[in-house]
Structure 1
Amino acid sequence: MSFALYMIGFLIFLAGVAWGASVAGVPTLYIGIGALIILGIGIFSAVARTRSKDPS
């Protein structure tokens, strides 16, 4: 799976979580902070999953 495809999926997930939090009445500041944290986790996991393995 490519990095771009993984990130597109993760961004769709992040948008859904942020929208759900907004509808639930969570303050915008907390949504922004949570979104940044989730985005960072997404980038770390995308790099880990799509990184090519080093030849031994």
Structure 2
Amino acid sequence: MSLGIYLVGYLILIGGVTYGMHLAHIPQHWIVVVDLVLVGAAILTGVTSTRQKDPS
């Protein structure tokens, strides 16, 4: 799998979560916190899933 595919998927997820939180009238600072956590999870998941194994 490509890192780009993971990141595009997570960007769609983050956009949907952000929009839902906005519609639920959640304060903006909490939306930013959740977005930062999701971006971190996206990077960790994408890198660990697409990383090549180191040669022995």
Q: Matched residues in 2 for 1:27 and 1:42: separation?
A: 23
Q: Aligned runs of 1:8-47 on 2, under 5 Å?
A: 8-47=8-47
- CA displacement at 1:54 relative to structure 2: 2.6
Q: What is the one-letter code of the residue matched to 1:41?
A: A
The percentage of counterpart residues that share the same residue type is 39
- Compute the TM-score of the two structures, normalised by the length of structure 2: 0.91
Structure 1, unpaired ranges of 5+: none
Residues 1-34 of structure 1, C-alpha deviations (whole Å, 9 max, x = no match): 1001110111100100010000011011100111
Runs of 4+ in 1 over 3 A off after TM superposition: none
Which residue is equivalent to 1:5? 5
- Compute the TM-score of the two structures, normalised by the length of structure 1: 0.91
Q: Matched residues in 2 for 1:6 and 1:34: separation?
A: 18
